Amino acid sequence: MMKYTTLLSGSAGNSVYIEGGRSKVLVDVGCSLKYLQKELAKISVTPGEIDAILLTHEHNDHISGAAALAKKYAIPIYASPLTWRALPFAALLPPLLQREFTYDLQIGDLTIDFFKTYHDAAQPVGMVVRHEKQSVGVMTDTGQVTDTMLAALEGVCGLVLEANHSLSLLSSGPYPPFLKRRIAGQLGHLSNQQAADALSNIVGDQTQAVILAHLSRTNNSEQVMFAELNQELDRLRACIGCQMTVAGQERSHPLIELR
């Protein structure tokens, strides 16, 4: 059986916990060891039980605690080749803990397929983690969603999907023009509308849970996001048993157990 949750999500830090069978992984570790320990304890997991750390890209909100966690508990870190070159801690980690992936990956009872995302990072990825017939997709930090990405996410049972900003809040908000262009650009972050479009392609009978993630504190809110996702919500409600919730910025989401 697979379980998953977000431990925190947003520009202050990101980490997704996924388990299947006897294997447990973290996708990104953008938090302190202390925070991680505290949040994992809520789901009765200790950091030493984590089998692998998988990094989506090298931005600090996704990696700030990765090296400390890896070193302390001898947990290998997996990242794409160009991400490794961009990681600030690569030289400080024992080579044994530095693993590169190119295509798919097997970690214990989990199979992981990666797909390219579009973000201002060296070689960013999203992924689908599978165990037996269940699967969890993670797609955050991307400025666009391509058919290839949608095909990769087809049929996932659980999803962590970015809904970073409301385009209207972003354009009328306080950010300087260059930052607005970066966020809304092809290598930026997904807007609520882009997230809704992605959901309309991904969500189906097989979908059990969607956690909307990486919400901007300045350019989005739970209320605005749900209003902008309205049409898609109606369809989701029609999906038997699919729940759609929002990841906490600095608290973990309740653990989701897939059926």
Which residue's CB is nearer to Zn ion, number 39 or number 141? 141
Which segments of the chain are extended strands (E)? 2-8, 15-20, 23-27, 52-54, 77-79, 98-100, 105-107, 110-116, 125-131, 134-139, 158-162, 209-213, 243-246, 256-257
Residue 95 beta carbon to Zn ion: minimum distance, rounded to whole angstroms: 26
Which residue's CB is nearer to Zn ion, number 150 or number 187? 187
Residue 82 beta carbon to Zn ion: minimum distance, rounded to whole angstroms: 14
Which residue's CB is nearer to Zn ion, number 14 or number 23? 14
Residue 165 beta carbon to Zn ion: minimum distance, rounded to whole angstroms: 12
Residue 141 beta carbon to Zn ion: minimum distance, rounded to whole angstroms: 4
Q: What is the DSSP letter of 165?
A: B
Q: Are 29 and 63 in contact (CB under 8 A)?
A: yes
Residue 77 beta carbon to Zn ion: minimum distance, rounded to whole angstroms: 17
Task: Break the chain down into helix, strand, coil percent, rounded to 5.
Answer: 35, 25, 40
- Element (DSSP H or E) covering residue 68: helix 66-73
Q: What is the binding site for Zn ion (CB under 5 A)?
A: 59, 61, 141
Residue 105 beta carbon to Zn ion: minimum distance, rounded to whole angstroms: 21
Q: Nearest CA to 109 among 43, 28, 19, 45?
A: 19
Q: Which residue is nearest to Zn ion (CB)?
A: 59
Which residue's CB is nearer to Zn ion, number 59 or number 131? 59
Which residue's CB is nearer to Zn ion, number 5 or number 23? 5
Cα–Cα distance, 233 to 248 (Å, whole number):
20
Which residue's CB is nearer to Zn ion, number 3 or number 59? 59
What tokens does 162 get? 């970015």
